[in-house]
């Protein structure tokens, strides 16, 4: 069933789909999405975002209380998860079948996610064996809207001397992803924390026979499962 049929309205615009997906992703922090954060993510002005939030609330897709942030309604969440599934399946397919690098698929998937059908996405997922995560380690929602909550601590919280496996990389910037890839720091890579400087200082990790020094911000984007 299309989103339009589900809502009894005209098809959702690309703008509405982007808003719903952005609000969903920001809400993964466990708190309502702040208007300023939505504006920053979408590169729009705060007044423009406030106007759209009001329209989304009128459509029954979000709930908004001044100074408390924006939350998706049940219907808004369902549609947002559909967009997240599209995006992440597209990323997985582009990397696995079309030879894209993980640093170049985000923008491509951003363009394609608004045009593809759910049927095509389901066939792409089936062709890949229904993967659970995308190339960055982010969980792919199932066709019926279930999402596994994959919570891993950032590398900056892994104890010095401990070994960990990178499971997710919370970064979309292509240059940052290319740099991490050049160091071999991708999901599935095992690292050993060799040293960490205090007061948000750099973390030193060993990957195989190589040692790398990562700034606090960069190390924070690497979400890891500590080895037992």
Q: What is the pLDDT along the chain (228 residues), one digit of tens a residue?
A: 344 444 445 578 999 999 999 999 999 888 999 999 999 999 999 999 999 999 999 999 999 988 889 999 999 999 999 999 999 999 999 999 999 999 999 999 999 999 999 999 999 999 999 999 999 999 999 999 999 888 899 999 999 999 999 999 998 899 999 999 999 999 999 999 999 999 999 999 999 999 999 999 999 999 999 876
Q: Which domains does the chain have, with CATH numbers?
A: 1-150 (1.10.10.10), 155-226 (2.30.30.90)
Q: How many residues can be counted in the chain? A: 228
Give 94: exposed, middle or buried? Use CB within 10 Å, 0-12, 13-18, 19+.
buried
Q: What is the pTM assigned to this prediction?
A: 0.90
Inter-residue contact 110 to 87 (CB < 8 Å): yes
Please state, in angstroms and rounded to a whole number, the distance separating the CA atoms of residues 190 and 123.
32
Please state, in angstroms and rounded to a whole number, the distance separating the CA atoms of residues 187 and 165.
7
């Amino acid at each position: 069933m299309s989103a339009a049929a589900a809502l009894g309205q005209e098809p959702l615009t690309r703008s509405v789909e982007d808003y719903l997906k952005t609000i969903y992703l920001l809400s993964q922090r466990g708190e309502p999405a702040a208007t300023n954060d939505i504006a920053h993510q979408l590169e729009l002005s705060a007044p423009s975002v406030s106007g759209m939030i009001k329209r989304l609330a009128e459509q029954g897709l979000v709930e908004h209380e001044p100074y408390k942030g924006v939350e998706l309604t049940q219907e808004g969440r369902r549609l947002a998860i559909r967009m997240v599934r599209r995006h992440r399946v597209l990323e997985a397919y582009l990397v696995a079948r079309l030879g894209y690098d993980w640093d170049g698929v985000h923008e491509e998937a951003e363009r394609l996610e608004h045009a593809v059908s759910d049927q095509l996405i389901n066939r792409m997922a089936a062709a890949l064996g229904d993967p659970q995560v995308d190339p960055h380690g982010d969980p792919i929602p199932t066709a019926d809207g279930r999402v596994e909550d994959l919570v891993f601590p950032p590398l900056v919280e892994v104890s010095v001397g401990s070994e960990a496996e990178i499971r997710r990389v919370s970064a979309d910037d292509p240059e940052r992803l290319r740099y991490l890839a050049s160091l071999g720091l991708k999901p599935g890579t095992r690292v050993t924390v060799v040293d960490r400087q205090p007061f948000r200082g750099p973390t030193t990790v060993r990957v195989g026979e190589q040692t790398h020094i990562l700034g606090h911000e960069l190390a924070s984007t690497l979400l890891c499962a500590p080895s037992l």
